[in-house]
Amino acid sequence: MLALEVKNLTKSYGSLKALDGISFEINEGEIFGLIGPNGAGKTTALRIISTILSRDGGDINIFGMVLGKDDEKIREIISYLPEEAGAYKNLTGIGYLNFMAGFYAKSDRVKSSFVDTGIEIADLGDRLKSKVSTYSKGMTRKILLARSLMMMPKLAILDEPTSGLDVINSIEIRKIIKDFVKKGVTVLLSSHNMLEVEFLSDRVALIDKGKILETGKPDELKKKFGARNLEEVFIGAMR
């Protein structure tokens, strides 16, 4: 089953075409990477798919539901982690998870289950009792990722999930994402870090200046362009 189908998506800001008719599909249960340089249109696409930003044209279907018609139902099965997301600094880590779980859970039992899952994802131990204002960037990103995944969304939309993190924290975040896909979560992620996305993703779409240049499995794209990595594929696709 298709988790996401995007057809001819367009978005302009004045004379700037942020998205110029992009199309791609994501299969249920896969990690799909939307990769390209800063300003390529990645975040605009993710915000539209997340129902946060309006589109100028095109069609989007999420697990058979139509964006623009079934938005309330779509919001019940997706989660979105923006690149510059922040947590409430005056709350403790556990307080933040409890607070956010309350928005999604329909019963105390379900809320408790969400929080337990969030605690497992964040893996911050006793630091969950500390205020978020005392957290490092890596710890903050973990608590935010926990918030995004704890309710087991059908589609998790992650914008630059390891942005600004060191190698150790980046590896931990990547492991969390891969583990949750095994549990049934489909992931759409964006990044300008092509080597990281190559490691994470089942398939990728290369985007530049609002256009999709290539779509496929990393190994297939490397073979097609005679490239050693996706960075070289991207350079080849731009020619």
Q: According to the model, what pLDDT value does residue 196 have? A: 85
Domains of the chain are: 2-83+154-238 (3.40.50.300)
Phi, psi (degrees; rounded to nearest 5) at 227? -110, 155
DSSP three-state, residue 74: helix
Alpha-carbon Rg of the chain, whole angstroms? Answer: 18
Q: Helix (H, G, I), strand (E, B), or coil: what is residue 195?
A: helix
d(CA 85, CA 68): 24
pLDDT in tens, the chain (239 residues): 899 999 999 999 999 999 999 999 999 999 999 999 988 999 999 999 999 999 999 999 999 999 999 999 999 999 999 987 777 889 999 999 999 999 888 899 999 999 999 999 999 999 999 999 999 988 999 999 999 999 999 999 999 888 878 888 888 889 999 999 999 999 999 988 888 888 899 999 999 999 999 999 999 999 999 999 999 999 999 88
> Which residues does 188 contact at the CB level (< 8 Å), separation at least 6?
4, 26, 32, 34, 46, 49, 155, 156, 157, 158
**Residue 92 exposure: Cα atoms within 13 Å on the Cβ side:** 11
The model carries a pTM of 0.94
Confirm if 94 and 128 have CB atoms less than 8 A apart. Answer: yes
Across the beta sheet with 2-13, what order do the strands follow? Answer: 16-27, 2-13, 57-62, 65-66
Query: Across the strands, what pairs with 6?
Result: 24, 60
Helix or strand (DSSP H, E) at 5:
strand 2-13
